[in-house]
Amino acid sequence: MNANTLQTPIDYLKGVGPNRAALLRKEVGIHTFQDLLNFFPNRYIDKTKYYKINEIQRNSAEIQIIGKIVHLKTVAQKRGKRLVASFVDNTGKIELVWFRGHKWIQENIQLNEPYVIFGKVNYYNGIYSMPHPEMELLKEHQKQMKIAMQPLYPSTETLSKRGVTNRAVIKMIQQVFVENKKGFVETLPDYLRKELKLISKSEALFNIHFPQSPEKLAQAQFRLKFEELFYVQLQLLMKNLLHKRKIKGFKFTEVGNYFNEFYSKHLPFELTNAQKRVIKEIRNDLGTGAQMNRLLQGDVGSGKTIVALMSCLLALDNGFQASLMAPTEILATQHFQGLSELCAEMNIEIALLTGSSKTKERRIIHEKLENGELDILIGTHALLEDKVKFKNLGLAIIDEQHRFGVAQRAKLWKKNINPPHILVMTATPIPRTLAMSLYGDLDISVIDELPPGRKAIKTVHRYDNNRLKVFAFIRDEIKKGRQIYVVYPLIQESEKMDYKDLMDGYESIAREFPQPEFQISIVHGQMKPADKDYEMNRFVKGETQIMVATTVIEVGVNVPNASVMIIESAERFGLSQLHQLRGRVGRGAEQSFCILMTGHKLSSDSKTRLETMTQTNDGFEIAEVDLKLRGPGDLMGTQQSGVLNLQIADIVKDNQILKSARYHAMKILKDDQQLQKEENRIVNYTYQQIAKNKTIWNYIS
């Protein structure tokens, strides 16, 4: 069946018709023959074996038996009647029982004719019985296409009510195979199938719906999963190559005074090998003449800011301006302070533009930006306003990219005739498997080691009844001159309850740590921004020793003197949030601690999260566990959950297949970038069909 026939609307399949077609479209999104073929079963019933009655076990499994009905009777019971048939083979007898539909069964059943029955067996008072069996005359059964393992398809209540049963779906899919005598167009080249020992497309589709044996089913699943992930990866890699070919970037050929002076005179500490490697990757990108599109991943405190600054200095060396955009004012201000300190002794003009910048400041910034006096502009969404015009923006850095939409990134591009180079930074570690699929069109750099002198944070889990010991520990840390965070969960639906938890917590801490000996800051979502900033600043300056807060402090507060993070009701937080919060301490040279407080009642997922936190500080390891617990949709938040609506593969369970698919897609494109070679003709054709028909793989944001 060629690819065009597969695009035929489902209405035209024999046995479907307009009413069923409308149902299938609405309930399960089946519009075409192709959609029906890609509507895969979610489990199978093994019908490879016919049991004899004397082989029946008391395990209530579903089994099938060949035999005859020799007798039929009606039995009265408390409510209504039941119909009972004696079913025999040459080894014994069982009862078949119906509690409804008697009339139809009595009229249609043929006594003493061989039947194949299928169903669950019950055992009661020494007698085996099978309620409401599936039944088929043996001669009909033998005529049918042999389904050794019966597929069970996803369904909805409406479908079942309106007669689109599992059997009806099987019939429709059989009809597609009947109409298609020639088999299906192959979508993977011979050499790749040989190398990976993959069965053909036709054989795979047939065996995913009607497996001839458990082995054939496994081969079919592997083949179809590989194909799906291969074309996802091919699409992402092609997008990246096309981007590099089509979108010309500025060529930064100079590594000049700014970069060299900073590197030799002002670097506050020796760069780690990971930082050196990443800077080299960025320098290579900036010199190619294609637009850089790179994702920089690094755990909290791994030193992304230095890498960002050194990338900006390369732009300055080549006569361009740079910008850094952050999701919140706190974070933007922090970047501004950090970069200003690092560049204090160099002749570089840096400015900060946020929602609260005064009109007069804004006017000066706009002017200096357009005449080129301003070198680096740091800010929030305010950078995207139309009034903000650069003289020549060469590099745009975006921090915590997942908080900005694609449309917002595109706005930055329009600030120039040529688009600037783009560097996206995130402290949210994305598991490799997910990064390959979500950001597969970006080049990825990872800073995977912490700067020297940083001690790993010690994390412990304590139950509520250990609270006094925890208070004693806090006292000791404050005596040493350290500061403490105490964080309460914030779950939008129950803001009143959260506020109460927070205030109760604040009061018990205030009792334990009374004024004037101790000073406590409090920060929560219901405060005015000015009050929040005032309290934050008191803590940053060291005027208060304890900060009681909701999760507003998650991103970007940098207090090197804070060495203890206490997370209350830790079981209510997700793993990535726990990891982000823990990253608020451990900023200085002293040993830092994270204490996870919970009650005794914990779900198994909560236990896994807490154990993971106490066992590792590695953000990537944590992200892998998080992915297994929550699945890809949840992990990326709602705006990206649609990104991975895969039909058969699962990027968590099938991550080995994903790696293999990406490796082979890269290998093919390395050797044949335009897919012009004869041996890759199938790949090129399939790729074009996918793009044209927006079929199952074309979901990439």
**Can you tell me the distance from the alpha carbon of 171 to that of 165, in angstroms, rounded to the nearest whole number?**
10
From residue 537, alpha-carbon distances to 531, 552, 557 in Å are: 10, 14, 10
Q: How confident is the model at residue 112 (pLDDT cuts 50, 70, 90)?
A: very high
Report percent pLDDT > 90 for the chain: 47
What pLDDT does residue 640 have? Answer: 40
Tell me, yes or no, whether 321 and 401 share the same domain: yes
Helix pair 575-582, 604-615: axis angle to 10 deg: 30
In the block, tokens 């591009």 appear at 413
- Sign for the CA dihedral angle at 259, 261, 264, 269 comes to negative
Q: Does residue 129 sit in the same domain as residue 167?
A: no
Are residues 580 and 536 located together in one domain of the fold? yes
With a CB cutoff of 8 Å and minimum separation 6, the contacts of 371 are 391
Q: Amino acid identity of 237?
A: L
Q: Are residues 36 and 69 in the same domain?
A: no
The verdict on residue 493 lying in a domain is yes
Q: Would you place residue 30 in the very low, low, confident or very high pLDDT band (cuts 50, 70, 90)? A: very high
Domains: count for the chain: 4
Residues 477 and 533 in one domain: yes
Domain final position from 146, 175, 196: 146
Instruction: Write down the pLDDT at residue 633.
Output: 54
The model's pLDDT over 215-228, given as tens digits with 9 standing for 90+, comes to 888 899 999 999 99
Q: Model confidence over 453-475: pLDDT tens digits?
A: 778 899 999 999 999 999 999 99
Residue pair 416/395 in contact (Cβ under 8 Å)? The answer is no
- Tell me: pLDDT of 665 over 70: yes
Report if residue 365 sits inside a domain: yes
3-state secondary structure of 118: strand
The torsion defined by the Cα of 314, 315, 321 and 326, in degrees rounded to 10, comes to -70
CATH number, domain of 310, equals: 3.40.50.300
Instruction: Calculate the alpha carbon distances from 489 to 381, 428, 570, 572 in Å.
Output: 27, 19, 8, 7
Reduced to 3 states, what is the DSSP secondary structure of residue 425?
Answer: strand
- 446 Cβ neighbours under 8 A, 6+ residues apart: 274, 278, 296, 297, 298, 620
Q: Which of 662, 558, 585, 561 is nearest to 335 (CA)?
A: 558
Query: With contact defined as beta carbons under 8 Å apart, do 633 and 625 qualify?
Result: no
Same domain, 583 and 473: yes
Q: Which residues, in sequence order, are CB contacts of 326 under 8 Å at separation 6+?
A: 332, 335, 378, 379, 380, 399, 400, 556
Per-residue confidence at 416, pLDDT binned at 50, 70, 90?
low
Q: Which of 616, 636, 664 is the last residue of a domain?
A: 616
Task: Dump pLDDT digits (tens) for 300-336.
Answer: 778 888 999 999 999 999 999 999 998 888 788 889 9
| pLDDT score, position 417 | 67
Tell whether 600 and 612 lie within a shared domain. Answer: yes
- Establish if 39 belongs to a structural domain: yes
| pLDDT, tens digit (0-9, with 9 covering 90-100), for 339-394 | 999 999 999 999 999 988 899 999 999 999 999 999 999 998 888 888 899 999 99
Tell me what the mean pLDDT of segment 27-47 comes to.
89
Average pLDDT score over the chain: 86
* pLDDT, tens digit (0-9, with 9 covering 90-100), for 586-621: 877 789 999 999 999 999 889 999 999 999 988 878
Tell whether 648 is covered by a domain. no
Report helix, strand and coil shares of the chain as percent, to nearest 5: 45, 20, 35
CA dist., res. 48 & res. 45, Å (int): 9
Same domain? For 94 and 162 the reply is no
Q: Is 506 among the domain residues?
A: yes
Q: For residue 553, what pLDDT is reported?
A: 60
pLDDT of residue 497: 63
487 in helix, strand or coil?
strand
Say how far residue 515 (Cα) sits from the centre of its chain: 47
- The alpha carbon torsion through 135, 140, 143, 148 (nearest 10 deg) reads 10
Greatest mean pLDDT among 41-55, 156-170, 306-320, 648-662 lies in 306-320
Q: Is residue 664 a part of any domain in this protein? A: no
Q: In the predicted model, what is the mean pLDDT of residues 614-638?
A: 73
* Same structural domain, 497 and 602: yes
- Domain containing 7: what range? 3-45+154-183
Question: Which ranges of 318-427 does DSSP label H, i.e. alpha helix?
Answer: 329-342, 359-371, 406-413
Q: State which amino acid sits at residue 25.
A: R
Give the model's pLDDT for residue 339.
94
Q: How confident is the model at residue 695 (pLDDT cuts 50, 70, 90)?
A: very low
The pLDDT of residue 241 is above 60: yes
Confidence at residue 496, expressed as pLDDT on a 0 to 100 scale: 63
Answer for the pair 367, 342: CB distance below 8 angstroms, yes or no: no
- The arithmetic mean of pLDDT across residues 158-185, rounded, is 87
State whether 494 and 605 are in the same domain.
yes
Domain end (from 568, 587, 616): 616
C-alpha 72/C-alpha 617 separation (Å) is 70
Position 220 in a domain: no
Is 324 inside a domain boundary?
A: yes
Say how far apart CA 272 and CA 278 lie, in whole Å: 10
Query: Residue 609 in contact with residue 629, Cβ under 8 Å?
Result: yes
Whether residue 415 is found in the same domain as residue 476 = no
161 and 82 assigned to the same domain: no
